[in-house]
Each structure stands twice: as structure tokens, then as C-alpha cells.
Amino acid sequence: MLNVRARGPIGIIVNPLVNLLARTGLTPNALTIAGAVGTVAGAALIARGQLFWGVITTTVFVLFDMLDGRLARAQGTSGPWGALLDSTLDRLSDAVIFAALVIWFGRRSPHEEPWIAALALFCLLAGALVSYVKARAEGLGLSCNVGFAERAERLIIVLVGTGLAGLGVRYILAAALWFLAAASVITIGQRLAAVRRQVVALEPR
């Protein structure tokens, strides 16, 4: 839901940048790919234990996701291929961030809370299900705009938690992942329930 609420304030900040990019000839797809490549690079830093700088790098390139769609509209080049590429690379970006945490905590001593790696893996899988349920419902012509743990919220929670952990704040990443795991499960349930209600309403009586 943050995407909808923040759209106006964010637009005030990014629209001038989008207008500038539109005049450079940079394509939205190139921006999408650059964002994904940069996110992978940031995740690689996280996987090596450089949590803070990995988050800084990842955040910069995740912000490209705010620009590619706006740039496509500004250039009049919006289309199904760009939308598919954007959604596909969004899933990749989400996955590599959590995979980096799995790798980092999996490599550490078994006495240093290895369960965090398992928790990060659960968040990766749950986040994928959150996105899948919505995409599948919309593919069936149903609405599924419910739940707290959408992509923007998931990224904010995991990146803030990881960045603060990189600065030495104890337990913050574990707390962030526990919260995100619970929020993702609740969101999946909310979305399945919302779709079920619509299906029941459409059934002949």
C-alpha cells in the first residue's frame, strides 16, 4: 500500500529527473536492466558480510525501479515487453537480496545464529508467494490489492534491518526478518481470502 500513498510525494522528487533522462535517449529497458545488475552487485557485497555498503549500493539501484515505468510513460514507449521485463527483474532483485543474507549467515560459524539464514530463506519464499498470488489472481481477472507486505514494504524492512545490522545494531536484522515473515504470511492469507470471496460472489446461486 506504500506504493499508492507515496506516489504523489515521490513524483515531486523524481519527475524532474525522469524528464531529464527522457531527453538523454536512455531507454526504460536499459534502466531496468541497470537497476537489476546494480542490485545483484549490492547483494554480492551483503553475501560477503559488507552489510552496510551492500545496502547502500542495493538501495541506489532499487530506486531505478521508481524511474523506469515513469520514463516509459514520458517517452510514450510503455508496452507489454517492458512490463514483463520489469516484473521479471523485480523478482530477481528481490530474490538476490534475501539469497545474499542466506549465504552470509550460512557461511558464518554454526554458533552464530544460523537460524537467521533459514528465516531469510523463508522470507524469500513467502515474498515470492505474495507476488505470485496477486499476479495469478489478476491473470484470472480478479482483484487482489490487499495486504501490508507488498514489494516496497518488504524491501524497506529488509534493507533497513540489514543496514542497521551492518552498523552494529544487535538483533535488529533478526527482528526485521521475524516481522517480515509474519507480515508475509498474513498478506498471503489476506490475498487468498480476498480472491475466494470474489470467486464465491461470482458463483451462480
In the chain, which ranges are continuous DSSP H helix?
2-22, 28-47, 51-62, 65-75, 80-107, 115-139, 151-166, 172-202
CB neighbour class for 127 (10 Å; exposed up to 12, middle 13-18, buried from 19): buried
Helix (H) or strand (E) holding 111: none
Listed in sequence order, the residues at least 6 apart from 40 whose beta carbon sits closer than 8 Å to its beta carbon are: 92, 93, 96
Catalytic option among 68, 86, 90, 94: 90
In the annotation, is 94 catalytic? no
Asked if residues 104 and 49 have their Cβ atoms less than 8 Å apart, the reply is: yes
Measured CA to CA, the distance from residue 73 to residue 7 in angstroms comes to 15
Q: Annotated active-site positions, please?
A: 90
